[in-house]
Structure 1
Amino acid sequence: MSVTSLRKLPAILVVDDEVRSQEALRRTLEEDFDVLCASDADEGMEILEREQSVTGIRIVLCDQRMPGTTGVQFLREVRNRWPDIVRIILSGYTDAEDIITGVNEAGIWQYLLKPWQPEQLLLTLQRAAEVWRLQQENQRLSLDLRTAEPVLKRHVDTKQEKVKSSFGLGSFIRAAGSPINAVCDLVHRVAPFDLSVMVTGESGSGKEMIAKAIHYESRRASKAFITENCGALPDTLLESELFGYKRGAFTGAVEDRVGLFQQADGGTLFLDEIGETSPAFQVKLLRVLQEGEFRPLGSNRAVHVDVRVIAATNRDLEEDVRTGRFREDLYYRLATISLHVPPLRERTMDLPLLANRLLESSCQALGKPVEGFTKEAMACIAAYRWPGNVRELQNEILRMVALSTTPLLGADLLSPRVLRTPVGDFDDNRPADELAWASGLNGGLKERMDQLEMHVLKEAMIRLRWNKSRAARELGLSRVGLRAKLVRYGLEQAE
């Protein structure tokens, strides 16, 4: 083995019947290549058969005119047996027919003319070595991809299943008999079909979760789910966000912007608070829904998209249609299917399950482990009407976890508005506010005042963690007087 081969230089086979030409090529190339030489095609073939598995010859540089055979004929055989080798012809003639034959039949990578220049020859062969390296890398990558394809497919399928479980119907926490069950059943039935859906419900009730469930239960699940709050932007900004614009369309448009409709192509676009849009914008939105195309601001060309639109609102759009505030044709275009999400106060049976699930996510978000709720805290949570729905419940539990100093979250950590709610059983359907509750008390004035006093006492004791001294000071009572009232109302044992 030559000294150069110990340096692991790329190997090149030079086939030339002229000895002086061989030596000149060797001297030029030996600093950058492990050079092997052959005087004719037969010797070149013997070297290839002997050395290819050991040395790994990357390039064959062959003279075109040799006794017995031509360079193209020899390199055609090389191509058939070792297709990865980069093949180069060295010729003193510029015969067009030879060049065409060499490219088509022997896969010649390059033709070099005699007399050759050392710098040009060396640069060409260095590029040839890089071509060989890139070919090998491409083959390895192709093999890796073929090998990994089943694994990647399983990984993608698994990821899609995880996404579906996180955002699909499996993400809904609900008890048996919950009103949300009927909504989930309807989602399951309509999700596979490309129909526009209108989701109605109070703020924070989970309208976006319903929209995500529809998307991830549909055939569009692998595509984008894009959200836009229509009530947060004026018409001009909303139009540029949804439809995009071209550079120079208006002052400040320094580059093209792809709109959300185009970003959601093949997927789903969720338009929240659709009832807050103006009639002028509703006309533009209606055209997109009818024609499936739009023009970015400043463009003369229409863009075609395939987007499923899901809209949501907390308004009574049917009333808005009657008063002319919302276009009737747009309403019926959006509300092919209508879904109403019940408020949390109508899902009291879901509250314990939902509260515990939100507690888990809150502990993860804050990095603070908590074991659960006290019975008293859960009773207060179940009694409150949650006008802000799930969003309010989530914020309340986050607050409790942040303030907690014990493994269990006590009722004293609740916000005053939650704590002051009259506490009953989990299935107790309380009126909408405390004044209505007070007006619904039974008995004469004294009995009603006693019930109200008991409620005030219990709220204060829970909030102050049953500290009688602090409660007595706050309520303007002596400690003895407070204790007497607690005994009278049967609250002393609650401590």
Structure 2
Amino acid sequence: MNPTALRRLPAVLVVDDELRSQEALRRTLEEDFEVYCASDAESALAIIEREHSVANIRVIVCDQRMPGRSGVDFLKEVRARWPDIVRIILSGYTDAEDIITGVNDAGIWQYLLKPWQPEQLLLTLQRAAEVWRLQQENQRLSVDLRTAEPVLRRRVESKRDKARSQLGLAGLIRAESSPLNAICELIEKIAPYDLPVTITGESGTGKEMVARAVHYQSRRGDKPFITENCGALPDTLLESELFGYKRGAFTGAVEDRVGLFQQADGGTLFLDEIGETSPAFQVKLLRVLQEGEFRPLGSNRPVSVDVRVLAATNRDLEEDVRTGRFREDLYYRLTTISLHVPPLRERGMDLPLLARQLLANSSAALGKRVDDFSAEALACLAAYRWPGNVRELQNEILRLVALTESPRIGAELLSPRILRTPVGDAAPPDIVWPEGQAPLSGNLKERMDHLEMQVLKEAMIRHRWNKSRAARELGLSRVGLRAKLVRYGLERGD
């Protein structure tokens, strides 16, 4: 048998002293409802007491004028004893006093007039049954939420602690001798105070990570952290993004939009690439910082906000101030504290830690188990200058994880530009490489020897130190290749 056929229909109680009216209502409703009928209030109460727990009566359709108790009086008692039942009055009279009394005292959901239309009545009863279902769902959820409140509170606190640990100072990966340590010490001192901070450094050095560390170390750490790249949008779009707008403020503004300043209220707004903004926009931003309020586009009312603003740029703002490209008053408003993030090439001691952390993140993102780098691969990574800084390192490691078929990444998978880099003092202290790798200087022979050594090293790494394959590629005999490797001190393998 179809399980749907076994499902019980929602129950409706019809109360009317006219039998023909009862039968007409039953015929209209019986395909969609389980219908009970009563001729007076007392009979109806008896049916509810007997059937409600079993049939779960959801709706009562009651005539107003009946012998004995009126419909409103009856429904007042129903409201007191079974408040979940949806109550409907069906009457041929339009006495305003009856209607008002029914709505106020008996909590009538609908007041329908005779003669009724079958389609309209059925639709009203279906809506009433849905109201009953939603009431039950609301009550269940209210109970669940009251029960779950301690659990939800613990989950929120756990996620907040996790965010602080991963995005706060602990999220800035650094070695004991890292230049980032001085920045972290300064962040600990200034984060609790609502001082504006400007973060400078080359593109890709992790200025947003530093800004998040300031936010999560501050008293605003449990409030929003909102970011906006000021260099990615023209002035008009940037203004609407930051300040919001009202419907009709311009063509295409079909609804109100809350700006990022309002979204960050109580928290922190990070303005990246602030040096790319125009002088005209800088005037508008200065007013917000000075007054703590702004007007959304198309609005006449100012909006007050409590926001800490952190800014970042890869430009020399002091030089821009001197040339007039950046407003001096805005510069001093943004730069009470200045933090400079060093490029990755100046953080050689951090690279092994940072590379392994990025490897773990990339492995999780791609769903592949990759445990570590070979010593040779790590030495090559450490020797490279990383002009794109941490962002370039992240992209390279993501590529390596995608390409590797082993849980340990070998140097042969590295991009050619990294393999061509001489491995020398930049290598981590626990990795020893051959001496004699001179810089590209000196006379012609010395320079040619240096280039030959780099070609040999790259070929050997790509072929995983297989001398036969490397010799075939380079057009050398195996003995000749071996002699060259010995000459340049490259007789090494991982």
TM norm structure 2: 0.79
- For 1:21-420, what aligned pairs fall within 5 Å after superposition? 21-33=18-30, 34-66=34-66, 68-89=68-89, 94-112=94-112, 116-117=115-116, 119=118, 124-218=124-218, 220-221=220-221, 224-244=224-244, 253=252, 255=254, 258=257, 259-297=259-297, 300-365=300-365, 369-401=369-401, 404=404, 408-412=408-412, 413-416=414-417, 419-420=420-421
CA distance change for structure 1 residues 364 and 100 in 2, over 3 Å: closer, same or farther? closer
The amino acid that maps onto 1:459 is Q
**Counterpart-to-counterpart distance in 1, 2:100 and 2:439:** 97
Q: Cα distance, 1:199 vs. partner?
A: 0.7
- Contact persistence 2:183–2:339 (CA under 8 A): yes
Q: Cα distance, 1:352 vs. partner?
A: 1.0
Look up the match of 2:456: 461
The amino acid that maps onto 1:487 is V
Q: Cα distance, 1:286 vs. partner?
A: 0.7
**Counterpart-to-counterpart distance in 2, 1:404 and 1:124:** 64
Q: Cα distance, 1:306 vs. partner?
A: 3.6
Stretch moving more, 351-360 or 395-404: 395-404
CA distance change for structure 1 residues 417 and 88 in 2, over 3 Å: closer, same or farther? closer
- Contact persistence 1:28–1:122 (CA under 8 A): no
Identify which of 426, 441, 446 aligns with 2:428: 426
- Contact persistence 1:198–1:312 (CA under 8 A): yes
Does 2:486 align with 1:487?
A: yes
The structure with more radius of gyration: 1
Q: Cα distance, 1:49 vs. partner?
A: 1.9
Measured on the aligned residues, the alpha-carbon RMSD in Å equals 4.0
Look up the match of 2:434: none
The amino acid that maps onto 2:74 is F
1:120-178 deviation line (CA, Å, top 9, x unaligned)? 66565455444433433333343344344444434433444444444333322222232
**Counterpart-to-counterpart distance in 2, 1:476 and 1:10:** 87
Q: Cα distance, 1:285 vs. partner?
A: 1.5
- Contact persistence 1:460–1:471 (CA under 8 A): no
Q: Cα distance, 1:112 vs. partner?
A: 4.9
CA distance change for structure 1 residues 71 and 214 in 2, over 3 Å: closer, same or farther? same
**Counterpart-to-counterpart distance in 2, 1:130 and 1:102:** 21
Q: Cα distance, 1:38 vs. partner?
A: 4.0
SS in 1 for 2:325: coil
Q: Cα distance, 1:334 vs. partner?
A: 0.9
The amino acid that maps onto 1:290 is Q
- For 1:434-453, what aligned pairs fall within 5 Å after superposition? none
Q: Cα distance, 1:330 vs. partner?
A: 0.9
Give unmatched runs, 5+ long, in structure 2: 431-436
Q: Cα distance, 1:52 vs. partner?
A: 1.9
**Counterpart-to-counterpart distance in 2, 1:126 and 1:235:** 53
SS in 1 for 2:198: strand
**Counterpart-to-counterpart distance in 1, 2:390 and 2:163:** 21
CA distance change for structure 1 residues 369 and 112 in 2, over 3 Å: closer, same or farther? closer
**Counterpart-to-counterpart distance in 2, 1:436 and 1:324:** 46
1:67-108 deviation line (CA, Å, top 9, x unaligned)? 554443333222211112233445565554444333333323
SS in 1 for 2:183: helix
CA distance change for structure 1 residues 437 and 348 in 2, over 3 Å: closer, same or farther? same
Q: Cα distance, 1:463 vs. partner?
A: 0.4
Stretch moving more, 397-406 or 307-316: 397-406
The amino acid that maps onto 1:24 is S
Aligned residues: 473
TM norm structure 1: 0.78
Q: Cα distance, 1:423 vs. partner?
A: 1.3
SS in 2 for 1:421: coil
**Counterpart-to-counterpart distance in 1, 2:274 and 2:252:** 26
- Contact persistence 2:381–2:418 (CA under 8 A): no
The amino acid that maps onto 1:32 is L
Q: Cα distance, 1:494 vs. partner?
A: 5.5
CA distance change for structure 1 residues 89 and 227 in 2, over 3 Å: closer, same or farther? closer
**Counterpart-to-counterpart distance in 2, 1:235 and 1:245:** 14
The amino acid that maps onto 2:273 is E
SS in 1 for 2:53: coil
**Counterpart-to-counterpart distance in 1, 2:264 and 2:41:** 62
CA distance change for structure 1 residues 377 and 126 in 2, over 3 Å: closer, same or farther? closer
Q: Cα distance, 1:376 vs. partner?
A: 2.4
CA distance change for structure 1 residues 63 and 394 in 2, over 3 Å: closer, same or farther? closer
SS in 1 for 2:54: coil
CA distance change for structure 1 residues 403 and 459 in 2, over 3 Å: closer, same or farther? farther
